[in-house]
Structure 1
Amino acid sequence: MTGTTDTADKLLDAALAHVPFDGWSAGTLKAAAEDSGVDYGLAQALFPRGAVDLALAFHKRGDAEMVRRMQEADLSSLRYSERVAQAIRFRLDAVPDKELVRRGMTLFALPQNAGDGAKALWGTADAIWRALGDTSDDVNWYTKRATLSGVYGSVVLYWLGDDSPGHHATSEFIDRRIDDVMRIEKAKAAVRENKLASAVLAGPMALMGMIRAPKGRPEDMPGHMG
């Protein structure tokens, strides 16, 4: 397995030089195989869907690098919302070239690849919450990841067009988006504490209380009832 992983990493490394010019494409995979000395048949076996699997491998590498940086950093003095914001910054910093992401967004904007793109965003959000020690096992497991997926997606779009020094504008945008989410959470808490609202929403809340986080593999979406 290690040998296979090393070969896949070698192909991905070689592909990065071609993506800015040829995008995440079959041509890029073929060029990567030639540059790395890997048999093209093996390259196709490692990335059976070609460009899509290659781009997803790049995305997962970025998630892994983000988690590594989170584990090495001392975030103990930060508020929880600030830790989430810092995790997003770590994720952006893990990208060596914006064009790699821009080309990826073009690929995942295609209807047949949209599901994979959404899953990749969800995976990033899930990686952040797991690294922060999230222990929720009810509907909050889903709402946290869905909300953060939306935040991260909007941040990436903003970041791609940001040419401010050190991406300072993006950093401020992240803080604003996290603040927006926190205001929503405070509003939800206020509704729960309101006796009238709680009575009106008793039925829906009871149903939501039956929702549980997926057990076993993270791919077990969207969960189960009971």
Structure 2
Amino acid sequence: MPDLKDRLIDAALPHVAFDGWSEAAFRAAVTDAQVTPAQARAAFPRGAVDMALAFHRRGDDAMMEKVRTTDMSEFRYRDKVAHAVRLRLEVAGEHREAVRRGMTLFALPMHAADGLRALWGTADAIWDALGDRSRDVNWYTKRATLSGVYSSTVLFWLGDQSDGSRDTWDFLDRRIDNVMQIEKAKASARKSPLFQKLMTGPNMLLDRIKAPAKPPRGDLPGLWRTPSSDA
């Protein structure tokens, strides 16, 4: 099945540039890949929508492999994150129009939930590739923050005409710096006795929030740990 999916995606990409992730592009891919409509529907039950999601996940997988084979031992923490985001965009660079068409598809109300899951999945993939070990509420805040950074960077990248996407990498660095400044401010606030007192109740609730069990990667629901499960 993976080989069939890749064949169909590769066959669809030239058509997606003109027809978007549409039924027309899906049918053209079926013809060009020389598979039956039944085989194609078995691989992608919802047609072009599932194909677009598979294309996105394929990019995530390629990024993860690049991150894991890159020596980042000398990188600062923020540089590791920025580099992973950059690798994800470079993976997509050959098919920028397909990414643009995907953004259009998942902006539609009926596909918005799929788009949000794909975005979350990318943030999750980046943190997984970087070896994130958080299992508490930080698992969620890291991915939510990175989702915002990644989505804004993609939008900037789609309109970037600079040599080597230089302006995009500068934009990405500024977004990462913004996040780091916020984290520093939060860390400073946590040291305040008044803040610690005010957060006593909320922290008791937050301590119950746990990351979802894995696999599958990218699932949104978390695990709410009840007092009885701590015993």
Q: TM-score, normalised by structure 1?
A: 0.96
* Separation in structure 1 between the aligned mates of residue 108 and residue 62 of structure 2, nearest angstrom: 27
Please give the alpha-carbon distance, in whole angstroms, between the structure 1 residues aligned to 2:116 and 2:31.
31
Q: Determine the C-alpha separation between the residues in 2 that align with 1:225 and 1:127.
A: 22
Is this contact kept in 1: 2:21–2:48, CA < 8 A? yes
Equivalent residue for 1:222?
Answer: 221
1:215 Cα deviation (Å)?
1.5
Structure-2 residue corresponding to 1:48: 45
Show the 5 A alignment for 1:2-17. Answer: 4-17=1-14
Q: Which has the higher contact order (CA 8 A, sep 6+)?
A: 2
Amino acid at match of 2:177: D
Shift of the alpha carbon at 1:220? 4.4
Q: What letter corresponds to residue 164 of structure 1 in structure 2?
A: S
Shift of 1:128: 0.5
Please tell me whether the aligned partners of residues 209 and 222 of structure 2 are also in contact (alpha carbons under 8 angstroms). yes
1:137 aligns with 2:160: no
Amino acid at match of 2:57: K
The aligned amino acid for 2:4 is T
Give the partner amino acid of 2:140.
Answer: Y
Q: Is the 8 A contact 2:117 2:218 kept in 1?
A: no
Measure the CA separation in 2 of the matches of 1:158 and 1:211.
34
Q: Are positions 1:58 and 2:55 aligned together? A: yes
Q: Is the Cα contact below 8 Å between 2:120 and 2:147 reproduced in 1? A: yes
Structure 1 unaligned runs (5+)? none
Q: What code does the residue aligned with 2:112 have?
A: A
Distance 2:19 2:152 in 1: 25
| Alpha carbons of structure 1 residues 10 and 57: separation in structure 2 relative to 1, 3 Å | same
CA apart distance, 1:97: 2.1
Query: What per-residue deviation string (whole Å, max 9, x for no partner) do you get for residues 65-117 of structure 1?
Result: 11111112111111011000000110000011211111001100110100000
1:151 to 132, 141, 149: 149
What one-letter code is carried by the residue in structure 2 that aligns with 1:224?
A: L
Q: Give 5+ residue unaligned stretches, structure 2.
A: 226-231
Aligned counterpart in structure 1 of residue 204 of structure 2, from 189, 203, 206? 206
Identity, % of aligned positions? 57
**Over aligned residue pairs, what C-alpha RMSD do you find?**
1.0
Out of 117, 120, 126, the residue aligned to residue 119 of structure 1 is: 117
- 1:19-43 deviations in Å (ceiling 9; x for gaps): 0001001111110111111111211
Partner of 2:228: none
Per mean C-alpha deviation after superposition, the further-off stretch among 135-144 and 96-105 is: 96-105
Deviates more, 1:40-49 or 1:163-172: 40-49
SS at match of 2:14: coil
- Which residue of 2 is the match for residue 105 of structure 1? 103
What is the distance in 2 between the residues matched to 1:210 and 1:193?
22
Higher deviation after alignment, 190-199 or 153-162: 190-199
1:222 shift after superposition: 2.4
Identify the match of residue 73 of structure 2 among 58, 73, 76.
76
Residue 17 of structure 1: SS of its match in structure 2? helix
Answer yes or no: is the 8 Å Cα contact 2:153–2:168 preserved in 1.
yes
